Each structure stands twice: as C-alpha cells, then as structure tokens.
C-alpha cells in the first residue's frame, strides 16, 4: 500500500511544485514593462525634447506658412503655391497641433514643472512655466479658443475649449509665477544649467536672468495680442517690456548645428527636402529695396541671374530668390523672441500711450542693434514696418498684421489673410466632440475682431 | 471490446504496465501477414500488443514478426492489434505463451478514418469518430507528393477553408496561411504552429523592417523538414482550438513528426531533383521607344537616349517613359522579362534511419535542400540543412523518457523587389524596349548604367541612376541570411496507476538569423552605397504538464478527465543598423560606412495557463467533450490579467453500418461544438513609455530634428497612450456538421457550418491630441466570419489491382467588419500601404479590403467642381461611368472600398489512381473571386512599357472599347484619343484612380500531378539490397488558368508578414516545377 501512496504523492506533488514557484512570472520586469523605451523620464531629458519640439513649432511649418501670408516669403511650387493662396484643408496643420500637446509639448512641460517643484528647484519650474506660456500662447494665437484648462489631464479624454481671452489670462498668470520662481536663489534652485539648449550654452551668462527677461517680453507680447480688444493692454505691455529682453545677446534663439540631426529647419526644407517650394516674397523684397535697407542682402540671396527678386503671391513665373546663405546655414540659430521685438513693443505701446519720446528711443535702439540708420521721429507705420522686417521668418509678424493691418500688404484673395487656422481633423476633432466642424468654426479669433482691408 | 480510452497514451508510445512477477522459460514469437480485403499485402502497418505497447511494422510483403522476451511471457491474455492509416484497426486476443503464434489480419478500408488517432492539442488525442469539431489531417504521403520545401505550401488545397498564398517563387519565400477568414486587425493573422506539442516561431522578418520593399523572407515554419513530418492536424475553428486559448485565435497547425518503431532498423533515402521556371510574365510592348509627346501631341524621342551616345557622356535622360515614336524597323529590342530568368533547380536529399527494441526507439534523419533560383546571376539561392533525432526509452515499466531535437541551418541569397528603386522588376519593366539592360556596366567608366543614366562618366559615382539596372541588382547587390535554429523537447510520461498518466514536456525553440544587405555605390536608393546589418534572435521555452485519468464505469459509459498547466516564455530581439555611404566600395561592412542609424529592440512575453478537459463516451455513440482554459499573459493589462476560454462539443453516431450491410447511407455522425479562442495584444501596450531616438517631424515635409541635441539626450512622452485594461481579442464560434459514408466504403463526405464572431479586436483608436496623446489601443472591433465547408470523396473503382478515388472540397467564408467603435475604417498596421490603395478594415465590408479612389459614377450623390453628377447622369443606371464634356471620366476623390481580396469560395479537386504498383495523382486548387490590386500594371501603363498601352494614339470611346459598361454625362459616347496624357494622368497608376487596376484574381491551378512506381519485387532485395524503390515524376503548379493579367493571382508583396493579401507591385514572380524523385528503402 505504501507504494500506492508514494505514487499518488509523486503524481500530485511533483506537478504541484511546478505549478507554484512562478508567482511573478507574468509580471517579471522584461515581460511586463517595455525594455526598449524608458517608462520614466527625468526633467533634463524632457527639457531637451521639449526645446527641440518647440523649436520645430516656432521655426518650422507654421513659420514658413505665416511668412508667406505676410509676404516676406512666397509659395512658388506644388502645395506651397496653394498654401500661399490660403488653400488648405482641415488636416493641413495636424502635426503642428500635436507639437503643442503631445510628446515634446504640454504633456512633457507639465512633467518638467512638477518634477522641478518636487525637487524644490523653482528656477527649473520657472523655465517650465515660460515654456508652457510660449507654447500655449502660440496655440492661442493660431487657433483662438483651445483646450487648456482640461488639456493633458488623466481624467478628461475630450477636453473642452477654453475661450482665447481666458487662455491669455492663464498664460499671463503662468508668466507671473514664472518670474517669481526664477528669482529663487536657494541651493535647490540650480535650474537646468547646461542642459538648456536655449540659454544654457553660454557659461558666462545668468540663465535665470535671461529666462526672466524672456518671461517679461512674452508677457508684453501677449498683452499686445489682446490690445485690439482691450486698449488697456498697451500700458501693461509697456510695463513688462521695460523688464524684457535687454540686449540682442539675450534673444531667444533655436539651437542648431552642422550635425544633420540638428540642422536648422529652414535649411532642411529649402535646400534638402523641398527645394523650389518657397522663395523670397515680393512685398518684403521691394520694401527693403525701396528703403535701400542692408537687410535685403542679409535676408535673401541673389537668384541665378544675380538679382534679388521676390515672387508675387502664389509664385508667378519669376525666379524668386532664396533665403540668404547666412540665414540658410545649417547651424543658423533661428530667432524666436528677440530684443528687437521687445524694443518695438515699447515703441508701439508708447505711441499709443502718448509718449513719442520713449517710442523714438526704443525704435532707434532697435534700429541701431540691427545696423540700420536711426530716425528723428517715428510713427506707428514706421514701428510696425520695422517690426515686420526685423522679425523676418518668425510667426509674430502675422499676429501684428492681423492687429494693425500693417504693413499694408495686398492679400492673395478677397477673403483677406486668414485670421486663424482650422482645428485639425485627425489629431483632434475626430476624437473630440467639443471641437466644432469647420463650417461652425469662427473666421476670426476673439482677439482680432476687425478684418484688414482686402482687394 | 477494445478499450479506446487509453489511445491517447498510445500515441505517446509511452505506457508500459508490465507484468513483472512470474518468469517463463522461453520467448514468444508472434508472426503473420496483414493484407487488405482484396488480398494485397499491406506494408508499414503497425502491429502491437495493446497491454505492453510492444510492436513492430509489417514489411513490404505484409509480414510481421514480433518477439516478446521470455521474461515477459507468462501466459497472460493479451490483445494483438494492427493499425494502418486508411484502414480500420483489427485486434485479436491470445494467451501469450512461449513459442510461435501465427495471426493473420485482413484490414477493412476505413475511408472515414474511424478509430484513427487525431491530435487535438496540448498533448491530447482522441479518435476521429469522437470529434465534435472539424480537424483536418494531412498525412506524410500528401506532404511528400507536394514536392514543397516549405511545409505551409505543402498544405495548399489540402483542407477546406485553409488558404495558402505563396509570396513569390524566390527560393525561401514566405507562405501565408489563412484559416476560416481574417479575424484580427493588428496582427498578421497567422495560426499558431506546434511541433510535437511545443509551439514554434513562424515569424516572417524583413531585413529592412519594411513590408513593401526589400527581399522575400522565409516564414520560419519553413525550417521544418517536410520529410520529417508524419502528419499535420489543422485546428480550424475556435471550437477546436480553444485548448490553446489566447494564442489560437487564428487557428492552430499541429505537426507530428515521425517516430521510430521497434523491429529491424530501417533506412530510407529519398532524393529529388527539380527543374523550376517562372510562370506568367507581364505583357510588355516592344513597338515604341523612349520618349513622350511634344507640345503638338506628336511622339518624340529625347535627344538623350541610349541610341544616341553622341548626346554626351553624362547625359541624364529626363524623359523616363516609352511614349516615343515607333521604333525604326530593325531596331533591336529586348525582352525585359525573359532576360532575367533561366531554369532553376532544387536538389533535395533526405536520409532517415529508424528502429529500436522493446524499450528503446529512435528515429534519426538528415535533410539537405539546395535551391538555385530562377533568376540569372549568382545571388539567388537558398540552402537548408536539417538534422533530427527522436528517441525514447522505457526507463521503468511505468516511466518513459523521450527526446526530440532538430537542428536547422538555412542560408540564402535573395533579390530586391517591390516598391523599391533598387528592386529587380521595378527598374527592368520600366525600361524602354530598345535599351539593353544586359550591359549593366559602362564599358569605359565601369560604373552602373541604367536606361535613365545610360552614359555614366568616371566622376558619376554618386549620381542617382533613377532605377537600378536589373542586372546590377542581380549581380552586385548582396542580400543574405544565415540562420541557425535548434528546437525540440524532452518529455517524461509516468503511469503511476493504470487509470492515470502524467506527462511533462519541456520544449525549446531557439534561432539566430544574421542578415546583411549591401547596396554598392551608384545604387539608386542610396547612390553613396549602404549596408543593412540585422540580427534577429528568437527563443521560446514551453513547459507543459498534463495529468489524465480515465475510467470505464460500465461498458456503455466511460470517461476521462485531464488537467494541465502550460508555462511559456518568448523572447525576440533584433539589432538593426543601417550604415550609409560606403568608404571603400567593398566590403559590405558597417565599419566601412560613414553614418550609422541603429534600431534595436526586444520583446519578451510570458504566459501561464491552466486547462482542464473532460470527456464522456456513452453507448459508443455519443461522445461529449468539455474543456476550459485559463490564460494569464504578461501582455494583458494588470486589471485583466487572466481570461477564460471554454469549449464544449458533442458527436453522435446516428448510424454505423459500414461493416455490415452497406446501403445507400452506411454511416452518419452529427456533431456540434462551441468554443472560444483569443489573440493576445501586442506586447507592452499596457505601459506608458517615453520614446528614445525619435525624430520630431516638421509636419510632413521630410525635415526633422532629432530628439537628442548637442550631445544631450532627449525624451518625449510616447504618442500612444497606455491601455492598462487591454485584454485578448476573443473569437466565439459555433460549429455544426455531419460526417457521412455511403455504399460502404465507396464514398464519404462531410458538411460543416460555422459562425464566429471576434469581439474586442484590437486597434489603435485616435485620441484627441489635447489629452497629451495621439492614440490608444482598444479592444473595440467586432468581426464576423461565417461559412460552409463541404468535402466529398468517392471511390468508383476499388479492385485489388485498380483503385480510383476522387476527392472534392468546397468552402466559403464570408467576412464582415461589424463594428469599429464608431470609426468607419481603421487602416491595417501591417503593410500594403500604397498611395491610393490602402489596406483597411472597413465597417460593413470585409477585413483587408482596399480603400482608394474611383472614377465618378452615377447615383453616388457626387458634386464635383460644381457639377451635380447625378443630375448630369439623367436616367442612367446607378453605377454608370460619368463622362464629362471632354469625353473622359473624372475622378471621384471620395474614399471608398475599391477591392476585396477575400475569395468568394475556394475548392479543390483531387484524384488518385492506383494500378498494381503504379500510382497516379493530381490536385487542382481553385479560388473563385477575391481581387488583387495590380499596381504593376498601373505603373507600367504610366511608363508606356505595358502592352496595354499599344492602343496609344487610337480613338476610343468610354463605355464601348475602353472601360466597357454603362456611361452617362455630356461626353458619353464621344470618341477620344488615348495617349500618354491619359496613361500618365488619370488612366495610369500614378494618377489618383486605383480602382481601374483592381482585377479579379480567381484561378484554377494544377497544383500537383504525380506519377509513381514502386519496385518491390524479390529481385530488388536480392540483387540491389533494398526492400523497395520508389520512383516518381511530378509537376508542381504546372499550369494556372486565370484572367489575371499580372504575374500570378497567387502572389502577395508582403507575404506572411502582412494580414492584407492582394497587393501586386513589382513582386518577384511565381515558379512551377518538374520533379524527378527516387526513394530507396531498406
């Protein structure tokens, strides 16, 4: 009988030993968690990703588009001829929308902020807040009402639109907090240091001070964006610009290099990927020529006939000039927020506030920094034209044009220069019922109720 | 009455309940002959003692001799049984005493295969009459007759609703298998392959990670030596496959390998040699040369062309099409199809040695296949070497240990194809007829010349050739794979009591595949040259433990209970590095390149499952089976870590008169089954990750910044949001049918109906990006497959000297995507992506349909450029082609389903005639319906090289002699000139309208034809020393009847790596073979 029980025990116990003993089999590290990508990210690595992604938003697709719409550039071929004529569909700017919110955008900026605060590094958190303001401010400029207060939240899968007015208010509050944070001098407030591609590459500067100046200039910028509906904004902008970017050395510029992975996007687009799609815009070229402005040669290269020629809207048949070799250099650091913008905000706001002396001082300071002659008096068109020239290749001239209708370009179509972009279908509207269909979307944003004259 | 309940353990060859007590003086010798009813000796029948499992095989003359050692001869009652596939098992009881016992057996044909053992998975077996669901079995003879080196090809047309599509005729090409329709959106739809109870990998891995370009790649089940296979059992539906749970959603292919038998050692050597050539070509024109229309619409040759070397050495022909003037009489032209191919050969040798004694059995085999493909040049071959040992030993009377191990070495050199400027046919078929590609190097510069770059100077080492010269592709590119693989298992079978068997199997499958692709300087894809170095490593460990208890309560009620556990680990790693710009022209080596882009990743999946099965047999008529499996997978979300998969089936034998008075209906079995299976989610979908090594794209313009900048690492939150609740896709299936026999053994058939619904099909659903994420995997699709399967076999002649058998199979599967959680369509993630022809799952249509644009047609409510098409159509019928005032159709840009690759029905006709020792057999494979996108034709009409463009300059009228059918609109009936403007525009493959290149891919294929003769006369043994010699001549895929105008209706660019079928874009061609085979047996 004992033999029988031995056999029974063997046939039950041996399998039982195999059945237990692997309790964590299904949750062993490599089986449960992706071994190819990290599941956590430090704020340093996220900051590099965010600054690179936001460089793409500020100096890529949108900057080229809006340069065409303000006619400093022109679409000369294929899809760019259509974009130049304001022909685009609902999905044309889906990837740009993604840059605002997904990896490299708000979702990662929020992680940087919370990690920095957890570590007691208010300077780092302040950098995050400024990045957030720049990113969301740009989105509010382009699309008007945008998801913000409910965006990037674990609990909301269909974020609602916040009114543009409220978005700007939240951005101003963010920047106020950022300025406070950036004052921190305690030992925990080391800030990003050399990991910061934008202000951290020069060891001899005070990065926190540069970020603080940037925050003030951005506050001034976004006050100006509400000035069309709220004239009180000029004084607020003026006050902020007084503490804004104090020297061209403190301009916010992209990081680029001669490494193919780090090439300036204008170079990549115009030389490597889509040669011939876009060229110099006729309005800007003619403006610089008529003023005998040295920036003509700084901005544009002679064409095959040795001439600097701008193409009319839609391209026409002229052989339009390229952007100059200097600005198309693979390692050209593309300006994003500058001393010039700050001084010209002062000039414009001071003119509105009846202080032409301050305006002239700021205007001439900016002109000097650009290496162009100063003036004895200044008008609003002078300021806006100078800003249009100085902020070449940036997004901001489109915002200025919508607000001031200066310089007085002739839009490509009678509908006028588009006042906003459509919400993207594939990256938002498709999955978010809070987004209206194109026919139900407003033509103009809250901050820009008055269309500019059109042919 | 024989006890069938232990049959499961019989197939394991393991149970030995020896009676060890008394000792007799002498051995017992059992001898006799086994013959058929007609008196024909039956070789290879298994003769064995039921109680001791001692056995042997009959010889060529049907004789057997089984010696029982004296120690086990005690005068006990034993049952002596004879088993042979195709015949009913016979038994005899006798008292086992010393001395010689003679027992002859006459076996009755058993076309219904009643009593035959069927492998049902997870180490379980049953007999065919007890099956409540369909399991199709393909035996070794059928596999051998197919002459295929890829086991998947060998089962083509062998079972209803098991569709096999070969990627291409290249040696080593993958083969796609689809069982009862597609059931998944995110996977490749390939079934689970299990060899001797252990799952093996059947991936198809592209060196470059693409599914539209690169080379063919083997599906890894092709590493199995078909000569080692004893039988293949195909678990088709969820009702059959539920025992494999979440890995069985696409069906299961169970492969049982050959085992040794006790008795004299047997030797078998089989050699075959084949002559292979390509089948259908692509129709090309040789009338018009390089050129195009000038501003007056007159064909002109460009100044720069190969016939005019004076135009300049660096002359780059900007004109790339063949819409030039008619070539002058006497201009030599070249056939850009035929030039590339010659006769290929496959040399296949297999040797096996098997035998054993009453305690130890072994089977040792070696195989070697050398294939020299049908393309000219040295780089088109595939060699496979396999070695296999199966051995088992009776350690104790109640414990048997076994080992099965295979080693495989495959090496191949492949050829670039597909949507690929370095591809073979893309460059060749676009070449104008007067350009001689054979001179692929410039005589002066020794650099590649192609029709778009006919006169390369010494300096033009890094100028793009446009498209590679096909002879450059064949001679200079390198695409190699070196694979080493070991798989097999060790197993123990323990019988502590006569009612209990415990069996443990531990299996492993390990391979590394080293790939190297080298593109020399001047290659069109990367004129500075490039190298892809890819290493794949895959291993799988599988532990399976089952215990089965059986009990006979009384003669009319018996049953069994099985419980088991399965633990499985799979690990896949790839390291791929692309090196761009060669330093020196050779070697193709990463260090010899300047820029490196790595892409390395690994995937590890663990699972742990429990299963139980109970069977009951009542009155030998009613057989009930119920089973349940509980699966835990590391790929399931933490909140749904384990899932249940039940099944139940019943088989009821209404009538069984096959042995008695065979009337019209001699046998009838009814069966019904329900089961559930699953498809596991993609690994790591449940984790939120940050992405490394990402490019941040500047919209869709090609420009981008890398996330790492200035030597600083950058990370980005993953675009895909984690789905912590992800579970398996679940297929629920009801199956019912009947098996019947009539006129005794004269005929038999089966009818099966099934209806299955896959719920929770996984796809990436878009998310509002303002959430911070772009997409998320969801268990959100519902897919239905339902169909009918019919098989009918008749044997008009059953004489001892002459038999004739005909088998018919017919199957239909109807597939429909029922729901996509609010989406109209979801594009398939696995391949088939071409602008205008995108493989997709479309709600209300089939899975894997192609979406794209069509010409505008009446009745669609279209408004195009301000024209209300329906109004302009007047009373024209719905679907009539709208012709505008220019006389041409216009583009309807609406995205719609333009093709469905799923066939309407499939079938096969098989016949076999045996006359004395001559065997003649044939197999027709039939596919009706199912469409293919002939993108090759679309491109070639655009280039003017297609023979379909010979009507250039001719007046045609839409609806009449071009696109015949109903037409409407202002230009209906107006003749127009068809020329380059049409073919290069809306009438060609680079225009927006893909629907015009959708073709019916129905075919009838002469899949196999075989004539064999067996030499087994006494003089063979006496003079040659062999017991028998098999001689055979055979043909494979000798002819295809089809209306398809491309290379072959059975072709698919992505092969088994993609779910979608029906994509033809410069695929490499299919082949047919003529085979001579000799088998020597001893």
Task: Give pLDDT tens digits for A366-418.
Answer: 999 999 999 999 999 999 999 999 999 999 999 999 999 999 999 998 889 99
Work out whether strand B967-968 and strand B593-618 pair parallel, antiparallel, or are unpaired: unpaired
- Identify all chain B residues contacting A36, using CB atoms and an 8 Å cutoff: 600-602, 684, 692
Six token digits for residue B883: 């012709």
- Identify all chain A residues contacting B608, using CB atoms and an 8 Å cutoff: 22, 25-26
DSSP code for B169: S
Buried b (16+ CB within 10 A) or exposed e, B909-923: bbebbbeeeebebbb
CA A296 – CA A72 distance, rounded (Å): 11
Q: Count how many residues are written for chain A.
A: 455
Q: CA distances (Å), A194 to each of A47, A202, A204, A259, B139, in order? A: 11, 8, 11, 19, 70
Residue B992 phi/psi, 5° resolution? -80, -10
Q: Report pLDDT for B20.
A: 37
Work out whether strand B642-656 and strand B665-679 pair parallel, antiparallel, or are unpaired: antiparallel
Six token digits for residue B250: 């696409």
Helices (H) and strands (E) in chain B, counts: 10, 63
- Identify all chain A residues contacting B570, using CB atoms and an 8 Å cutoff: none
Task: Give pLDDT tens digits for B728-739.
Answer: 999 999 999 999
Task: Residue window 140-179, chain B: list those with CB within 8 Å of chain A.
Answer: none
* Mutation target among B504, B770, B776 for the A interface, most CBs of A within 10 A: B770
Averaged over A299-315, what is the pLDDT?
88
Q: Report pLDDT for B19.
A: 34
CA B511 – CA B228 distance, rounded (Å): 19
CB-based burial label for B927 (10 Å; 0-12, 13-18, 19+) = buried
CA B801 – CA B758 distance, rounded (Å): 50
Three-state secondary structure string covering B344-398: EEEEEEEEEEEEECCCEEEEEEEEEEEEECCECCCCCEEEEEEEEEEEEEEEECC
Q: Report pLDDT for B21.
A: 37
CA B160 – CA B761 distance, rounded (Å): 25
Contact present, B764 and B829 (Cβ < 8 Å): yes
Confidence of residue A305 (pLDDT cuts 50, 70, 90): confident
Task: Residue window 413-442, chain A: list those with CB within 8 Å of chain B.
Answer: 424, 426-428, 430-432, 435
The verdict on a CB contact (< 8 Å) between B496 and A265 is no
Q: Report the candidate in B542, B546, B500, B461 with the shortest Cα–Cα distance to residue B201.
A: B542
Whether B772 and chain A come into contact, CB under 8 Å, resolves to yes
Averaged over A125-143, what is the pLDDT?
98
Buried b (16+ CB within 10 A) or exposed e, A333-363: bbbbbbbbbbbbbbbbbbbbeebeebbbbbb
Nearest to B770 among A151, A261, A268 (CB): A151
Nearest to A31 among B500, B502, B605 (CB): B605
Q: Report pLDDT for B430.
A: 95
Nearest to B768 among A44, A157, A197 (CB): A157
Which has the higher per-residue pLDDT, A268 or B456?
A: A268
The verdict on a CB contact (< 8 Å) between A265 and B604 is no
DSSP secondary structure of B686-709: TS--EESS-EEE-TTSS-EEESSB
What ipTM is given for this predicted complex?
0.95
Whether B608 and chain A come into contact, CB under 8 Å, resolves to yes
For the four alpha carbons of B832, B833, B834 and B836, in that order, the dihedral sign comes to: positive
pLDDT of A86 > 70? The answer is: yes
Whether A78 and chain B come into contact, CB under 8 Å, resolves to no
Contact present, B523 and B516 (Cβ < 8 Å): no
Q: Which residues contact B984 (CB under 8 A, 6 or more apart)?
A: B321, B323, B942, B990, B991
Quick one: how far is CA A127 from the chain centroid? 15
Task: Residue window 4-23, chain A: list those with CB within 8 Å of chain B.
Answer: 4, 7-8, 10-11, 14-15, 18-19, 22
Residue A347 phi/psi, 5° resolution? -60, -45
The verdict on a CB contact (< 8 Å) between B703 and A428 is no
CA B901 – CA B999 distance, rounded (Å): 10
The verdict on a CB contact (< 8 Å) between B705 and A56 is yes
Six token digits for residue A303: 């064409």
Q: Report pLDDT for B58.
A: 85
Q: Report pLDDT for A315.
A: 66
Instruction: Name beta bridge partners: B394.
Output: B400
Contact present, A225 and A403 (Cβ < 8 Å): yes
Residue of chain B whose Cα is closest to the Cα of A19:
B565
- Identify all chain B residues contacting A19, using CB atoms and an 8 Å cutoff: 545, 565
Six token digits for residue A16: 């039982």
Q: Report pLDDT for B957.
A: 96
The verdict on a CB contact (< 8 Å) between B497 and A156 is no
Q: Report the candidate in B69, B16, B10 with the shortest Cα–Cα distance to residue B396.
A: B16
Taking 50 as the pLDDT cut, the residues of chain B under it are 1-24, 313, 317
CA B699 – CA B716 distance, rounded (Å): 17
Nearest to A26 among B606, B702, B718 (CB): B606
Determine the distance in angstroms separating the CA of A104 from the nearest CA of chain B, rounded to an integer: 5
Mean pLDDT for chain B overall: 89
Across B799-836, the runs of DSSP E, i.e. the strands, are 802-819, 825-827, 833-834
CB pairs under 8 A between A and B: 244
Six token digits for residue B957: 């009228």
The verdict on a CB contact (< 8 Å) between A197 and B716 is no
Whether A289 and chain B come into contact, CB under 8 Å, resolves to no
Contact present, B205 and B217 (Cβ < 8 Å): yes
The verdict on a CB contact (< 8 Å) between B771 and A153 is yes
- Identify all chain B residues contacting A255, using CB atoms and an 8 Å cutoff: 709-710
Nearest to B718 among A37, A255, A424 (CB): A37
- Identify all chain B residues contacting A265, using CB atoms and an 8 Å cutoff: 698, 703, 705
């Amino acid at each position: 009988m004992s033999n029988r029980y031995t056999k029974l025990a063997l046939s039950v116990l041996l399998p039982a030993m195999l059945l237990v003993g692997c309790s964590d089999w299904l949750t062993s590290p490599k089986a449960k968690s992706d071994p190819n990508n990290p599941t956590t990210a430090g704020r340093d690595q996220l900051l590099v990703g965010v600054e690179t992604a936001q460089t793409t938003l500020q100096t890529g697709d949108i900057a080229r588009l809006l340069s065409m719409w303000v006619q400093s550039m022109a679409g000369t071929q294929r899809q760019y001829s259509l974009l130049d004529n304001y022909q685009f569909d609902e999905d044309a700017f889906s990837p740009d929308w993604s840059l605002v919110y997904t990896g490299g955008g708000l979702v990662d900026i929020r992680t940087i902020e919370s990690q920095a605060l957890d570590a007691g590094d208010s300077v780092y958190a302040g950098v995050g807040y400024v990045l957030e303001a720049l990113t969301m401010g740009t989105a509010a400029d382009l699309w008007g009402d945008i998801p913000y207060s409910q965006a990037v939240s674990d609990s909301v899968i269909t974020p609602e639109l916040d009114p543009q007015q409220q978005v700007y208010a939240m951005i101003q509050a963010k920047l106020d907090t950022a300025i406070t944070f950036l004052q921190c001098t305690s030992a925990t407030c080391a800030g990003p240091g050399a990991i910061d591609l934008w202000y951290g590459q020069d060891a001899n500067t005070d990065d926190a001070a540069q970020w603080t100046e940037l925050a003030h200039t951005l506050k001034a910028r976004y006050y100006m964006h509400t000035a069309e509906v709220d004239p009180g904004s000029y004084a607020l902008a003026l006050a902020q610009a007084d503490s804004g970017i104090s020297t061209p050395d403190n301009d916010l510029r992209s990081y680029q290099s001669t490494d193919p992975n780090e090439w300036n996007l204008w170079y990549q687009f115009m030389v490597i990927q889509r040669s011939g799609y876009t060229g110099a815009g006729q309005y800007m070229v003619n403006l610089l020529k008529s003023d005998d402005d040295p920036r003509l040669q700084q901005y544009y290269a002679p064409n095959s006939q040795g001439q600097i020629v701008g193409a009319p809207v839609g391209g026409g048949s002229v052989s339009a000039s390229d952007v100059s070799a200097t600005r198309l250099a693979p390692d050209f650091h593309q300006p994003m927020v500058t001393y010039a913008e700050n001084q010209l905000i002062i000039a414009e706001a001071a003119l509105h506030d009846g202080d032409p002396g301050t305006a002239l001082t700021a205007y001439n300071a900016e002109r000097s920094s650009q290496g162009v002659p100063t003036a004895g008096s200044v008008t609003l068109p002078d300021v806006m034209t100078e800003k249009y020239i100085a902020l070449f290749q940036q997004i901001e001239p489109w915002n200025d044009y919508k607000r001031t209708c200066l310089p007085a370009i002739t839009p490509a179509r009678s509908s006028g220069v588009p006042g906003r972009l459509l919400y993207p279908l594939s990256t938002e509207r498709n999955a978010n019922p809070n987004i209206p269909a194109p026919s139900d979307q407003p033509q103009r944003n809250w901050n820009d109720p008055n269309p500019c004259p059109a042919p | 009455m024989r006890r069938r309940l232990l049959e499961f353990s019989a197939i394991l060859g393991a149970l030995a309940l020896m009676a060890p007590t008394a000792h007799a003086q002498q051995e017992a010798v059992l001898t006799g002959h086994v013959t058929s009813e007609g008196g024909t000796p039956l070789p290879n029948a298994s003769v064995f003692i039921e109680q001791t499992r001692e056995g042997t095989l009959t010889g060529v003359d049907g004789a057997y001799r089984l010696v029982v050692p004296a120690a086990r001869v005690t005068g006990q009652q034993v049952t002596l049984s004879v088993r042979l596939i195709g015949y009913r098992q016979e038994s005899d009881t006798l008292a086992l005493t010393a001395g010689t016992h003679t027992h002859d057996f006459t076996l009755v044909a058993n076309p219904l295969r009643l009593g035959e053992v069927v492998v049902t998975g997870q180490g379980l077996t049953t007999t065919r009459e007890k099956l409540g669901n369909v399991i199709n079995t393909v035996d070794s003879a059928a596999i051998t007759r197919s002459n295929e080196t890829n086991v998947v090809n060998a089962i083509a047309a062998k079972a209803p609703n098991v569709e096999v599509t070969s990627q291409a005729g290249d040696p080593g090409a993958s083969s796609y298998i689809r069982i009862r329709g597609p059931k998944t959106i995110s996977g490749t739809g390939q079934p689970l392959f299990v060899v001797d109870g252990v799952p093996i990998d059947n991936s198809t891995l592209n060196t470059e990670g693409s599914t539209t370009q690169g080379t063919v790649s083997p599906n890894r089940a092709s590493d199995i030596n078909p000569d080692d296979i004893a039988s293949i059992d195909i678990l088709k539906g969820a009702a059959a496959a539920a025992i494999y749970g979440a890995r069985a959603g696409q069906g299961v292919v169970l492969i049982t390998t050959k085992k040794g038998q006790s008795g004299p050692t047997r030797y078998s050597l089989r050699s075959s040699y084949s002559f292979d050539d390509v089948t259908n070509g692509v129709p090309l024109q040789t009338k018009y040369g390089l050129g195009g229309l000038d501003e007056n619409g007159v064909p002109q040759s460009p100044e720069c062309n190969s016939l005019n070397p004076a135009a300049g050495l660096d002359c780059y022909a900007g004109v790339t099409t063949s819409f030039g003037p008619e070539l002058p009489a006497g201009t030599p032209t070249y056939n850009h199809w035929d030039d590339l191919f010659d006769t290929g050969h496959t040399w296949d040798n297999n040797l096996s040695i098997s035998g054993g004694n009453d305690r130890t059995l072994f089977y040792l085999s070696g195989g070697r296949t050398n294939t020299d493909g049908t393309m000219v040049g040295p780089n088109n071959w595939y060699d496979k070497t396999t070695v296999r040992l199966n051995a088992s030993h009776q350690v104790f009377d109640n414990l048997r240990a076994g080992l099965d191990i295979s080693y495989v070495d495959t090496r191949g050199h492949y050829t670039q194809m597909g949507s690929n400027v370095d591809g073979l046919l893309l460059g060749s078929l676009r070449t104008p007829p007067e350009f001689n590609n054979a001179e692929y190097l410039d005589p002066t510069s020794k650099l590649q010349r192609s029709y778009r770059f006919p006169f390369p100077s010494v300096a033009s080492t890094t100028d793009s050739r446009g498209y590679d010269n096909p002879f450059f592709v064949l001679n200079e590119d390198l695409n190699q794979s070196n694979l080493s693989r070991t798989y097999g298992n060790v197993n123990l079978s323990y019988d502590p009591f006569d009612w209990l068997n415990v069996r443990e199997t531990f299996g492993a499958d390990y391979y590394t595949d080293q790939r190297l692709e080298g593109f020399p300087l001047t290659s069109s894809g990367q004129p500075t040259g490039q190298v892809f170095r890819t290493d794949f490593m895959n291993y799988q460990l599988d532990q399976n433990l089952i215990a089965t208890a059986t009990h006979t309560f009384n003669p009319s009620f018996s049953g069994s209970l099985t419980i088991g556990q399965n633990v499985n680990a799979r690990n896949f790693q790839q390291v791929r590095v692309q090196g761009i710009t060669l330093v020196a022209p050779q070697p193709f080596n990463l260090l010899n390149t300047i820029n490196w882009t790595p892409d390395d990743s690994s995937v590890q999946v663990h699972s742990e499952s429990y299963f139980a099965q109970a069977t009951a047999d009542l009155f030998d008529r009613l057989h009930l089976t119920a089973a349940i499996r509980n699966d835990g997978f590391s790929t399931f979300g933490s909140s749904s870590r384990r899932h249940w998969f039940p099944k139940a089936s019943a088989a009821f034998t209404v009538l069984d008169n096959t042995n008695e008075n065979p009337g019209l209906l001699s046998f009838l079995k009814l069966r019904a089954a329900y089961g559930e299976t699953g498809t596991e989610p993609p690994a790591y979908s449940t984790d939120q990750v940050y992405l490394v090594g990402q490019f941040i794209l500047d919209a869709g313009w090609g420009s981008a910044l890398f996330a790492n900048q200035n030597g600083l690492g950058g990370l980005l939150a993953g675009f895909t949001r984690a789905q912590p609740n992800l579970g398996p896709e679940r297929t629920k299936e009801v199956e019912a049918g009947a098996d019947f026999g009539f006129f005794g053994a004269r005929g038999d058939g089966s009818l099966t109906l099934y209806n299955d619904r896959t719920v929770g099909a996984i796809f990436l659903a878009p998310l509002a990006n303002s959430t911070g994420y772009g997409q998320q995997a969801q268990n959100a699709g519902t897919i239905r497959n339902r169909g009918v399967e019919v098989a009918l076999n008749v044997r008009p002649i059953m004489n001892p000297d002459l038999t004739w058998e005909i088998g018919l199979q017919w199957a239909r599967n109807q597939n429909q995507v029922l729901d996509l959680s609010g989406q109209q369509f979801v594009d398939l993630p696995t391949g088939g992506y071409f602008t205008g022809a995108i493989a997709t799952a479309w709600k209300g249509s089939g899975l894997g349909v192609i979406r794209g644009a069509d010409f505008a047609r009446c009745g669609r409510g279209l408004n195009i450029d301000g024209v209300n098409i329906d109004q302009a159509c007047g009373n024209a019928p719905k679907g009539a082609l709208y012709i505008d005032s220019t006389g041409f159709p216009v583009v309807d840009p609406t995205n719609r389903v333009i093709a469905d690759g799923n066939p309407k029905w499939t079938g096969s006709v098989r016949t076999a005639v045996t006359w004395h020792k001559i065997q003649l057999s044939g197999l027709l494979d039939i596919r009706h319906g199912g469409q293919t996108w002939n993108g090759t034709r679309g491109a070639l009409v655009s280039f003017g090289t297609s023979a379909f463009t010979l009507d250039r300059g001719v007046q045609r009228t839409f609806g009449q002699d071009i696109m015949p059918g109903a037409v409407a609109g202002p230009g209906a009936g107006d003749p127009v000139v068809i020329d380059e403007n049409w073919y290069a525009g809306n009438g060609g493959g680079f225009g927006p309208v893909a629907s015009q290149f959708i073709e019916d891919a129905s075919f009838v294929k002469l899949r196999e034809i075989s004539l064999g003769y067996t030499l087994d006369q006494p003089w063979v043994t006496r003079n040659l020393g062999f017991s028998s010699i098999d001689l055979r001549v055979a043909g494979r895929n000798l002819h295809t009847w089809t209306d398809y105008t491309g290379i072959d209706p059975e072709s698919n660019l992505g092969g088994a790596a993609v779910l979608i079928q029906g994509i033809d874009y410069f695929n490499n061609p299919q082949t047919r073979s003529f085979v001579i085979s000799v088998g020597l047996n001893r």
